[in-house]
Every structure is written in C-alpha cells, then in structure tokens.
C-alpha cells in the first residue's frame, strides 16, 4: 500500500537569540541591534511564512532552519512549511532545476502534461497554506517547486515573494525554456529575491527585484567549534577512521541541548582514512551538477607522491524527497570508483550520511570538513554553494568552480582557488595537488577565507538584509 503524501506540513522552528553574534562582531553588532528593535515594531502582528519542498537535505532547508530561528529570536512570528508531492512531481521540478542551470538533465520536456501535473500537485498545498495566512502576512515561496502557488496566495491579500536560489551566469535556451514554463506563475509576485544579480531573469520587473546572498550560521551543529577528540570520535562512529569513539562525539543542538553522534554512515572504502593522511573532501548532494565523478577522476590523475586521500560525502540517497536522481548519481560514482586501479581506489572513500537526525548529520559534516586539509566544490553549475562558506569559516582552503555564487565568496588566490573551467579535470587535480604540497599556502588561504566569511556571510547580515527588504516591501504595498 503506497504511503499517503501530505500536500503541506508545517515544520517546527526553534528560537535563537542573535545576541550571540556580539562576541564575533564587537562594535558592529550595535547596527544589528538597532535593526532588530526597528523590526520588532514594524512586524508586530504579522506572520512571515517560508514555504519550500523539503525540511532536510540541501542548502535551502539548512538556511531556513537557522535564519527563521533568529527571526523568532528577535520576537517575530516566523513560520516554515513544506509541500509534498508524488515522485512524478519531483521528477518535473528536478528537470526545471537542471534547466535553470542550463543543463538538459533527464532530457524530458515541459509540455502540457507536465504543467497539468505541476498545477494539480500544488493546488491542495496552496489551499492548505491559504487557510493559514491573512492579508497582514508575508509569504516567501522558495524555488521552482513552489512557484505555482503565487496566484492562490495573492488572493489571501498577503504579500507574496518568490525566492529563487538557483540560476545561471550566462543563460542559454534551456534556461530560457524553464523561465517560460515558470513565468506565468511568478509574474504576479509582489517581489522577487535572487542570490546574485546575474541570476535575474530577462523580462523580470527589475523594480520588484532584490539581491540577497545566502549566509551561514556559525553556531549551528555544522559550523560550531569542535575539539580534536570530538572530531575523531564523530569520524570513528561514522566509520571513516579507526579508533575508539567513546560513545560518539558530542555537539550542541540549535536549542542549546547536548547532542551526540550515534549513527554510522554507509561507507564504501578499502580501509579507514589513515592518521595524518592529507584529505581532500567534497560534501554535496548526489547530483550530476556537482560532478562527483569528475572530482574522483581529477583527483585520481594527481596521486604521484605522498599519500593524499579523497572523500566524497553526501546524504543517504533515499533521504532527500525532492531529489529523485540521487540514487542514480551515487551508483555512477561507485561504478567510477570501482574502475580505478587498486592503489588509487584505496585512497578514495564514499560516505552516505544518515539524515534521520538533521543536526546529527550536520555534526558529521562539521567533523569531516574540520578533518580535511582541503575542501572542494567542483560544480558544473551552482546557485551559491553553502558548503564553500562553511569550509571557509573553518579556515579551510577551498578549490571550487568559478560558477554562480561561489565567485562572490572566493577571491581566487587569496581566499581560495577558483577553477575557470570545471570540466578541466587536469587543472582541478593540479590545484588540489598544489595545496596538498604547500602547507604555508593552505594556512594563508585558510585564514583569509575565514576573515572573508566573518566580513560578509554571517547570519546577521542576512537577517538585516531581509528586514530591510521587508520594510521596503510593506511600504510599497501601503502606497499602492
């Protein structure tokens, strides 16, 4: 008997006090404090809703979990909801996602049948959300999966914002085809928020566009400080290194309670990562646009001398509801690894991290990045790349593609290394090898990377930009 898919589910959002950033920002926190006090009076009596397609897996879910907790922490009513759908719906939205990045994806079309499936899936979700909001509220609809809800929610009188996290720097006809499919749904939104200016669609009303880059929460389980013993204990429990996990490594949950990594991961490796072996890591969904097979092959071509190891880590393939291609991509990675020679294969590790507890999963990623000498993100296309910012905060040198929002985070040669052509596997391998061989360079780039994140990509900047945007949006509606 097939499981019943709920059209809409509200997700619990905790509360976190932005005051904790005072220790990092120092005097700069006074500006944040002023913005918070102004926001409390402006948004009193309003609910701010965020609707997306999954509560776990992927950058949007991670972003909302922290951002909305800080919004609640300043006394505003921030709420989070997730839409549901059958596999066919998510196959169509994954196709749209790929097309927006200029990639053909599964090669399928976006015709009348796909439009009917898209609209029929979103109709009950729209009705469910419409019962919860009123004319004083603001609703953010995230990415292609929710775009078809704009019209129904506009009828409630609420302000409706379409938030697009994905895009392409130089659009092609594939991207424009996805725009044509979505444009009838999003054109009546009160405002659009994009992660970078180059992602803004041709033909979109620029007067309704805001640019808000994402941010990271440096106090979250994914980014909080971890001692060497905790890192080793977590990685031992995960199964990546040998040792005594002493009951699993500890971390602090969003609500301030103590957490512990207790689950293991699905690991494919010949042996655990040796003590002291240089480690390069990519953490991402199992997605062809992240090019994990390319990372594997590019790394394998640069293994002469030393003992570097490579780790490809991602979520358990079946754990991310809105990404139906994950299992296929993982199978391609495992097949490519098996084709490597035995000596090379022994230096590669594949980890599928459990998603049963998203904060436990985040602590695993934290430990993995902190154990790594180098973090890579060799995406063929990228919206922003939160894993880049997360690694930079940990003072790790990052080798990444000059694509999308990654370019906004890294100044190549200073706070990381950007690859002009992510398909050039030889250049990718040389960049990784250079960092493996030059410890002083790793340290210099890592320190600059951390300063870069502290300056521009903390959650407080994100919070202030959203409050500024909402203030302007409500003022514009009041004049209309």
Predicted pLDDT of residue 34 = 87
CB atoms within 10 A of CB 210: 18
Per-residue pLDDT of the chain (480 residues; tens, 9 = 90+): 344 568 999 999 989 999 999 989 888 899 888 888 888 888 888 999 999 998 887 789 888 988 899 999 988 999 999 999 999 999 999 999 999 999 998 899 999 999 999 999 999 999 999 999 999 999 999 999 999 999 999 999 999 999 999 999 999 999 999 999 999 999 999 999 999 999 999 989 999 999 999 999 999 999 999 999 999 999 999 999 998 766 668 999 988 899 999 999 999 999 999 999 999 999 999 999 999 999 999 999 887 666 899 999 999 977 565 677 889 999 999 999 999 999 899 999 999 999 999 999 999 999 999 999 999 999 999 989 899 999 999 999 999 999 999 999 999 999 999 999 999 999 999 999 999 999 999 999 999 999 999 999 998 898 889 889 998 998 888 887
Contacts of 440 (CB under 8 A, 6+ apart): none
CB atoms within 10 A of CB 74: 22
Q: Write down the CATH superfamily of domain 228-456.
A: Glycogen Phosphorylase B; (3.40.50.2000)
CATH 3.30.450.20 assigned to 8-215+458-479: no
Q: How far apart are CA 152 and CA 140, in angstroms?
A: 13
Predicted pLDDT of residue 320 = 60
Q: How far apart are CA 80 and CA 77, in angstroms?
A: 10
Q: Which of 98, 134, 95, 141 is nearest to 118 (CA)?
A: 95
pTM (2 d.p.) = 0.90
Predicted pLDDT of residue 321 = 57
Contacts of 296 (CB under 8 A, 6+ apart): 310, 312, 333, 336, 337, 340, 348
Q: Give the domain ranges of the chain.
A: 8-215+458-479, 228-456
Fold match flag (8-215+458-479 vs 228-456): yes
């Amino acid at each position: 008997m097939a499981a019943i898919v709920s059209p809409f589910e509200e997700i619990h959002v905790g509360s976190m006090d932005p005051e904790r950033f005072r220790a990092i920002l120092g005097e700069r926190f006074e500006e944040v404090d002023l913005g918070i006090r102004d926001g409390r009076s402006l948004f009193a009596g309003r609910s701010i809703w965020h609707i997306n397609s999954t509560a776990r897996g992927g950058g949007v879910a991670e972003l909302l979990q922290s951002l909305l907790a800080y919004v609640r922490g300043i006394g505003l009513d921030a709420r989070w909801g997730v839409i549901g759908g059958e596999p066919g719906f998510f196959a169509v939205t994954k196709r749209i996602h790929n097309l927006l990045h200029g990639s053909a994806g599964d090669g399928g079309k976006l015709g009348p049948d796909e439009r009917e499936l898209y609209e029929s899936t979103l109709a009950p979700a729209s009705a469910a959300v419409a019962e919860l909001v009123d004319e004083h509220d603001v609703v953010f609809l995230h990415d292609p999966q929710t775009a078809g809800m704009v019209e129904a929610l506009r009828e409630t009188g609420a302000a409706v914002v379409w938030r697009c996290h994905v895009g392409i720097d130089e659009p092609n006809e594939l991207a424009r085809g996805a725009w044509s499919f979505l444009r009838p749904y999003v054109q009546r939104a009160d405002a659009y928020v994009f992660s970078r200016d180059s992602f803004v669609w041709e033909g979109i009303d620029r007067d309704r566009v805001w640019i808000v880059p994402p941010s990271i929460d440096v106090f979250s389980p994914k980014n909080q400080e971890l001692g060497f013993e905790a890192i080793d204990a977590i990685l031992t429990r995960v199964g990546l290194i040998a040792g005594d996990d002493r009951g699993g490594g500890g971390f602090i949950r969003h609500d301030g309670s103590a957490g512990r990594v207790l689950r293991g991961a699905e690991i494919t490796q010949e042996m655990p990562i040796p003590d002291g072996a240089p480690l390069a890591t990519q953490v991402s969904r199992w997605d062809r646009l992240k090019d994990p097979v390319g990372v594997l092959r590019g790394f394998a071509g640069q293994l002469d001398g030393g003992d570097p190891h490579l780790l490809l880590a991602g979520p358990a393939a079946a754990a991310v509801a809105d990404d139906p291609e994950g299992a296929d991509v993982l199978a391609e990675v495992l097949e490519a690894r098996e084709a490597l020679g035995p000596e090379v294969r022994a230096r590669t590790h594949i980890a599928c991290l459990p998603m049963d507890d998203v904060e436990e999963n985040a602590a695993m990623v934290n430990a993995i990045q902190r154990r790594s000498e180098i973090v890579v993100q060799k995406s063929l296309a990228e919206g922003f790349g939160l894993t880049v910012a997360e690694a930079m905060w940990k003072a790790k040198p990052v080798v990444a593609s000059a694509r999308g929002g990654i370019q906004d985070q890294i100044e190549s040669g200073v706070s990381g290394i950007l690859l002009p052509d992510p398909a050039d596997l030889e250049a990718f391998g040389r960049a990784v090898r250079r960092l493996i061989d030059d410890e002083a360079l790793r340290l210099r780039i890592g320190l600059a990377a951390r300063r870069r994140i502290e300056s521009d990509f903390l959650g407080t900047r994100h919070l202030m930009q959203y409050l500024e945007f909402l203030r302007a949006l409500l003022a514009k509606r009041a004049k209309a």
